[in-house]
Chain A
Amino acid sequence: MIDWAVFSVAAAAVLAGALGVVFSTNPVHAALMLVMTLFGVAVLFVAQAAHFLAAVQVIVYAGAIVVLFLFVIMLLGIDKAENLRAEPLRGQRPLAFLAGLGVLTAVLMLARGAWVSGAPSQVATLSGPGSNVTKLANALFGRYLLAFEVTSVLLVIAVVGAVVLTGQEPAAEPTEPEAKSTEPGAKLTEPGAVEVTS
């Protein structure tokens, strides 16, 4: 009984947040709606005994990724309301809805026969004595140790890539005087004068 109550509330939060992300005109509101969805998913993780992943979900997603989104929104100054009515490509929106509904029906039809198939407990059992964190750590640092080490390389590459991408370019070389002249320098001084709606 209490499980169904928890699932209903969390599922309602997840769905409302997802719809809010898609249909909110302001990017800041969309980011806050995304937080609601992430918390709902974290609650569903707890309901399925994935305690460590619920904590990581809140810390990494809601604590780091959404803050990064908000940081970029504020940095670029694009927190303007977007006109959702404008449709530059004729017929693109109904086709998009049709494609999304097609994906949904395809997935649900695939699952109609059996929701789950496959051999249970291939890596290690999830139920039984011991905490969730211990079992996950045994899997990560045992069977998946190589993949775990590779993720550290991936994170280092991501950090280097972010620094390279967003770093200031060095001053123009004297051999290429025309390279800088094409940049719209006047526009850079007015970050607030952006136009979001077309």
Chain B
Amino acid sequence: MSVPGAWYLALAAVVFAIGAIGLLVRRNVLVMFMCIELMLNAVNLTFVTYARMLDDVGGQALVFFVLVVAAAEVVVGLGIIVSIFRRRSGATADDLSMLKG
């Protein structure tokens, strides 16, 4: 028998926690976006592991949809980042206080 699924799930939990910490700690908007991708990948790994443990194709189909949504999210998010930082310098999230009342 191959590696038990619990190891994969623990690894995915650790990667998710690293991504969450990075999202909270980093101030560069692009790196924060990469941390979101880390968390998405951790969840994808969880889905594939559950698909294997439960012997079900549904988990893998869900990962397919997560990939599509992640691609759309990256396109729109990077478009927003480009449109914001084309008219102002700096790339830290602290500089984005335009909506402050």
Binding site for B on A (CB under 8 A): 3-4, 7, 11, 14-15, 18-19, 21-22, 27, 30-31, 34, 37-38, 41, 44-45, 47-50, 52-53, 56-57, 60-61, 64-65, 68-69, 72-73, 75-76, 78, 82, 88, 92-93, 95-97, 99-101, 103-104, 107-108, 111, 115-116, 118-127, 132, 135-136, 138-140, 143-144, 147, 151, 154-155, 157-159, 161-162, 165-166, 183-184, 187-188, 193-196, 198
Contacts and interface: CB of A to CB of B under 8 A. Distances in A.
Given A14-B15, A187-B89, A73 B56 contact: no
Contacts of A69: 30, 33-34, 74, 78
Main secondary structure of the interface of B (DSSP, over half): helix
A18 B83 CA distance: 28
A65 B37 contact: yes
B26 to A, nearest CB: 7
* 8 residue pairs, one from A and one from B, having the closest CB atoms: A96-B24, A100-B21, A22-B22, A165-B79, A158-B72, A123-B58, A104-B17, A194-B89
Interface of B: 2-3, 5-11, 13-22, 24-28, 30-31, 33-35, 37-38, 41, 44-45, 48-58, 60-61, 63-65, 67-76, 78-83, 85-92, 94-95
Nearest to A14: B15
13 contacts: A21-B18, A27-B91, A37-B15, A50-B52, A69-B74, A69-B78, A125-B56, A136-B64, A139-B60, A140-B61, A151-B69, A187-B88, A187-B89
B28 A18 contact: no
A15 B15 contact: yes
Contacts of A100: 17-18, 20-21, 24
Nearest to A34: B34
- A60, A158, A159 — most chain B CB neighbours (10 Å): A158
Nearest to B31: A30
A68 B74 contact: yes
Main secondary structure of the interface of A (DSSP, over half): helix
Contacts of B51: 48, 50, 126
Given A30-B31, A194-B90, A93 B79 contact: no
B52 A161 contact: no
A47 B3 contact: yes
Given A72-B30, A78-B30, A158 B92 contact: no
